[in-house]
Amino acid sequence: MAEPAVAVMAHHEEEDHGHHGPGGWLKYLWSTDHKVIAMQYMFTGMFMALIGGFMAYVFRMQLAFPGINVPGFGMVSPGEYNALVTNHGTLMIFWVAMPVLLAAFGNYLIPLMVGADDMVFPKINRLSFQIFFLSTIVILASLVVEGGGFAGAWTAYPPLSANETYNLTPLGSTLWVVGVGLEFVAFLLGGINFITTLMNSRAPGMRAFDVPIVVWMIVVASILFMLSVGPLLAGAIMLIFDQTLGTGFFDPATGGDPILWQHLFWFFGHPEVYVVLLPAIGVVAEIITTFARKKLFGYRIVIFTIVATGVLSFFVWAHHQFIAGIDPRMANIFTITTLLISVPIAEMCFVYIATLYGGSIRLTTPMLWALAFIAEFLIGGVTGIFLGAAGADIYFHDTYFVLAHFHYTFFPIAIIGTFAAFTYWFPKMFGKMMDERLGKWHFWLTIIPFNFIFIPLFVLGMGGQHRRIYNYAHFPELAIPWFQNMRIVATVSLLVMLAAQLIFFYNCYKSWRRGRKAPMNPWKANSLEWTTQSPPPHGNWRPDELPVVYRGPYEYSVPDRDDDYWPQNEPDSRGSR
Amino acid sequence: MERVGHFFDDIGLIRIGSSYAADIDFLIILVLVVVGVWFLAAEFVFMYFIVKFREKPGRRADYIDGTNKRHKRWITYPHLAVLVFDVLIVVVSFKVWHKIKIDLPENPDAVIRVIGQQWAWTFQHPGADAELDTPDDIFTIDELHVENGKLYHFKLEALDVLHSFSVPVWRIKQDAIPGRSITGWFQPTMIGEFDVQCTEICGFGHGVMAGKVMVEDPATHSAWIEANTPALLAE
């Protein structure tokens, strides 16, 4: 108990000193409050999602109606098309999924859910966002410099990415690498905080297995990120040297090896999938237990499976490179590890489905999103098996089948997972209840078009349609009318889905301005963030009211109790622990 | 059993044009069936639970924490079954992978060279003497001529950036890397004109890096060789 109290005092002193000078928005800008930083990450991420979504709109219009003058953009040249798909991928993964799921919700939830007044290192947290913000400016600048944005795919394979005579975007490609590198630094700093805060600042009484799953997930994700990002950062610096100083790390003409980059990239890139997946899975665990009024089925199974997934994720990277020119015998090993990873992930899905068994399910908007995550992610999971089997990957590699597969994983993660978390914690974050009717309209108008975008793309991939082609007219086998009709279906569905997001923004605005005031614990949930007011004050709880924990976070519907929930901080009658 | 591998051809999605295309399609069908059953079962149980366990007045949720062995086996058995099916898929995948990518069939009827560059394919045919790198070699741009039924080895190279040589009807795909020569094989089994794709982004003109392969009967192919042998040698 002593330690948090000291931390709070130190914190308040610092506040007093810091606030002599600038007030107003500068106070907001330099705030070290984890909740403020979380909001900054979230709104930056959502802004970037709008840009990434706009890019998708432009290139999908070009694919459905080749040569069209896209409203709001104009004609799409082949170079622009490549830049659009490249930066759509880059932004959606590094500037949307990462900041929103990992950084925003990690920042917001970890201190509140472990019962701490703030992160362990609030100033590092502030620095983390500032570097992230800088990286955002760099990546946005890379889109508008002379020569245009980087156009060598988000995987940035050299020699194309390393040499301006090949990629024709001298400034864009260098700024792209610098932006991505800065972004990694920002998340490393954030990750330090997540890990140390969980280790050191848990409320008295909170043991390792009393920590909510989402916190575990975010912390494991941060550890995976820290362990995997080093090789890629090194690779990024080598790539910058290749681009600007004329070194030849990745250029065979000067003795380098382009495959080296692929190894460095995917050694990071595959764990990265789990870095963004785990927070989403954690969010879903919180929501389905709350709205099924059920204890999580096999809490420890989930913890062990995420650790197993995390370890395995370091041994699967070359499944992205089966036909890239690696020794073909290596493919055998990576086929085995890749299919093995299906076991813990399948187990995780089973656990969530089993959690619903015997529940008392309330289909609120956040619950709909959480259930949709499971239903849709299953499609993404099972289609991965096709690609993990090296023999089938010969055909599927770099086709729309791959594209549809990873959109069925990343969309549930980054979009469905975010909406689930956002609608679930909205009352806590903004102190207002969201409009359920609008929320459900938004849900259905997002989920249904989403499937109509990507199921046709699976079929096109099966038909041999390869990726990153601005116009299929040059390929007679792919230019047939019913393929083109499928492209149009996908594009029209995308337009519907994008339009449906207006409902979301309107709902946010309306609920924030005129919504019903949120009570402390609107969902009757157990974890600690619901034991403080909505929204929580600076320091989260009054210093003398910091919570003490008596049990795990999923004690719903415990027999012989009047309430069907049992907050973590409520002493039981016998006062044990 | 034989027909299973021809499913995608039969439904008109993608034709079978090489000796190993049906092997890959068979593997894909196998995975489709295995994971399809799992997927449908999981979605069914999931949807059933959502409907069955909707909130009802007066009913309280069960308290099940999943540590009880009787409950836990609902997770352990399916997960062991997943492992068994994984093994099945791995075994078939290995067979296909070895056939196509590891075991190079010996004594090819001809060796060709495929060279990718921004943004065209160059094909080097061995010519009348069936030997590569001799003066009667025939070079073409974006147009590969092969004889139906013959076994070909290819040497895949790139001049500038990464490219990837892909012929969907043959189910062939291999990245081309500057500075390396990668050997592979194919045996066409269907006469016609088919797409050659570049499936690795290679810069501005990636979208127009389209070639075609002409699979010809023996007479047409010999005629083509004769007509295109460099003039100097033909005398």
pLDDT digits (tens, 9 = 90+) for B26-40: 999 999 999 999 999
pLDDT at B64: 87
Residues of chain B numbered 102-131 and touching chain A (CB < 8 Å): 102, 118
CATH number of A33-545: 1.20.210.10
- Indicate yes or no: CB of A78 within 8 angstroms of CB of B208: yes
Mean pLDDT taken over chain A: 92
Answer whether A392 touches B (CB < 8 Å).
yes
- Indicate yes or no: CB of B86 within 8 angstroms of CB of A342: yes
- Indicate yes or no: CB of B177 within 8 angstroms of CB of A258: yes
Q: Among the listed ranges A415-419, A506-510, B129-133, which one has the minimum average pLDDT value?
A: B129-133
- Indicate yes or no: CB of A297 within 8 angstroms of CB of B13: no
Answer whether B84 touches A (CB < 8 Å).
no
Answer whether A440 touches B (CB < 8 Å).
no
Is the pLDDT confidence value at A4 over 80?
A: no
Is the pLDDT confidence value at A562 over 90?
A: no
Q: Which residue spans within B51-191 are E strands per DSSP?
A: 110-117, 120-125, 138-141, 143-147, 152-158, 163-167, 172-176, 182-186
Is the pLDDT confidence value at A19 over 90?
A: no
B contact test, residue of A288, A382, A405, A459 with most B CBs within 10 A: A382
CB A233 within 8 A of CB A291: no
A contact test, residue of B201, B202, B209 with most A CBs within 10 A: B201
Cβ contacts of B174 on chain A, cutoff 8 Å: 323, 325
Answer whether A107 touches B (CB < 8 Å).
no
What gap in Å lies between CA A499 and CA A505, rounded to an integer?
11
Q: What are phi and psi of B117, to 5 degrees?
A: -150, 165
Is the pLDDT confidence value at A10 over 60?
A: no
pLDDT at B1: 61
- Indicate yes or no: CB of A389 within 8 angstroms of CB of B27: yes
Q: Please tell me which of the candidates B43, B171, B207 has its beta carbon nearest to residue A394.
A: B171
**Which tens digits make up the pLDDT trace of A372-413?**
999 999 999 999 999 999 999 999 999 999 999 999 999 999
Q: Output DSSP code: residue B5.
A: G
CB A445 within 8 A of CB A531: no
Nearest of A561, A504, A542, A518 to residue A50 by alpha carbon: A504
Q: What are phi and psi of B127, to 5 degrees?
A: 80, -165
When pLDDT is cut at 50, 70 and 90, the band that residue A22 belongs to is low
Answer whether B35 touches A (CB < 8 Å).
yes
- Indicate yes or no: CB of A392 within 8 angstroms of CB of B197: no
Ranges of H-type helices in B53-157: 69-97
What gap in Å lies between CA A52 and CA A148, rounded to an integer?
16
**Which tens digits make up the pLDDT trace of A338-369?**
999 999 999 999 999 999 999 999 999 999 99
Q: By CA distance, what is A467's nearest residue in B?
A: B199
**Which tens digits make up the pLDDT trace of B90-123?**
999 999 999 999 999 999 999 999 999 999 999 9
**Which tens digits make up the pLDDT trace of B50-62?**
999 999 998 899 9
Handedness of CA A566, A567, A573, A574 (dihedral sign): positive
Mean pLDDT of B83-92: 93
- Indicate yes or no: CB of B199 within 8 angstroms of CB of A157: no
pLDDT at A18: 41
Answer whether B195 touches A (CB < 8 Å).
yes
pLDDT at B232: 61
Q: Residue A440: how many CB atoms within 10 A of its CB?
A: 15
Cβ contacts of B120 on chain A, cutoff 8 Å: none
What gap in Å lies between CA A244 and CA A250, rounded to an integer?
13
Q: How far is A349 from chain B (nearest CA, A)?
A: 9
Mean pLDDT taken over chain B: 92
Mean pLDDT of A243-261: 91
When pLDDT is cut at 50, 70 and 90, the band that residue A574 belongs to is very low
Is the pLDDT confidence value at A16 over 80?
A: no
- Indicate yes or no: CB of A160 within 8 angstroms of CB of B201: yes
- Indicate yes or no: CB of A386 within 8 angstroms of CB of B175: no
What gap in Å lies between CA B61 and CA A156, rounded to an integer?
51
Q: Output DSSP code: residue A516.
A: P
Is the pLDDT confidence value at A544 over 70?
A: yes
**Which tens digits make up the pLDDT trace of A482-497?**
999 999 999 999 999 9
pLDDT at A260: 95
Sequence-separated (6 or more) residues with CB below 8 Å from residue B221: B145, B146, B147
pLDDT at B76: 85
A contact test, residue of B91, B162, B167, B186 with most A CBs within 10 A: B162
Instruction: Classify residue A240 by burial, with Cβ atoms within 10 Å: 0-12, 13-18, 19+.
Output: middle
Contacts of the segment B8-16: beta carbons below 8 A, 24+ positions apart: B8/A462, B13/A459, B13/A462, B13/A463, B14/A462, B14/A463, B14/A464, B14/B168, B14/B169, B15/B169, B15/B190, B16/B169, B16/B189, B16/B190
Q: How far is A443 from chain B (nearest CA, A)?
A: 17
Nearest of A346, A358, A407 to residue B41 by alpha carbon: A346
Answer whether A524 touches B (CB < 8 Å).
no
Mean pLDDT of B204-216: 95
Residues of chain A numbered 226-265 and touching chain B (CB < 8 Å): 252-253, 258-259
Is the pLDDT confidence value at B234 over 70?
A: no
**Which tens digits make up the pLDDT trace of A139-182?**
999 999 999 999 999 999 999 999 999 999 999 999 999 999 99
pLDDT at A49: 97
**Which tens digits make up the pLDDT trace of B136-168?**
899 999 999 999 999 999 999 999 999 999 999
Q: Where are the domains of chain A?
A: 33-545
Answer whether A167 touches B (CB < 8 Å).
yes
Q: How far is A285 from chain B (nearest CA, A)?
A: 14
What gap in Å lies between CA A41 and CA A45, rounded to an integer?
6
Q: What are phi and psi of B193, to 5 degrees?
A: -120, 125
Q: By CA distance, what is B119's nearest residue in A?
A: A166
Mean pLDDT of A73-81: 95
A contact test, residue of B34, B38, B98, B200 with most A CBs within 10 A: B200
**What ipTM does the predicted assembly reach?**
0.95
CB A228 within 8 A of CB A274: no
